[in-house]
């Protein structure tokens, strides 16, 4: 015969323990915003006419600045995950 498993409901006075604290989740959202900003800086530089080459795609903003911002955003995400939540 199969074993019967009973599940006890969570009482309203018990606190649920999450792996990360509220501050960690806020920092994760900030890091996501930094990454999004980096990808937005990479956008553009195209030409409406496919026969015309636009040198704007090789600008400092798209080639250097935006990837650095994306990498900083990922580093910030690692920090947000590793930061110990306040008790």
Q: Quote the pLDDT of residue 20.
A: 85
Residue 7: predicted pLDDT: 75
pLDDT at residue number 45: 75
Look at 7-16, 32-41, 66-75 and tell me which has the smallest mean pLDDT. Answer: 7-16
- Residue 23, pLDDT > 90, answer yes
DSSP string, 34-69: HHHHHHHHH-----SSTTS--GGGG-HIIIIIHHHH
65 near 41, Cβ under 8 Å? yes
What's the confidence (pLDDT) of residue 1? 62
**Maximum mean pLDDT: which of 18-22, 53-57, 73-77:** 73-77
Model-level pTM? 0.74
Pinpoint the alpha helices (H) of 2-46. 22-42
């Amino acid at each position: 015969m199969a074993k019967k498993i009973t599940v006890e409901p969570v009482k309203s006075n018990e606190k649920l323990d999450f792996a990360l604290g509220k501050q960690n989740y806020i920092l994760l959202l900030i890091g996501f915003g930094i990454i999004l900003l980096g990808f937005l800086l990479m956008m553009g530089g195209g030409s409406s006419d496919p026969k015309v080459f636009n040198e704007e795609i090789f600008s400092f903003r798209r080639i250097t600045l935006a990837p650095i911002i994306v990498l900083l955003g990922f580093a910030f995400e690692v920090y947000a995950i590793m930061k110990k939540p306040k008790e």
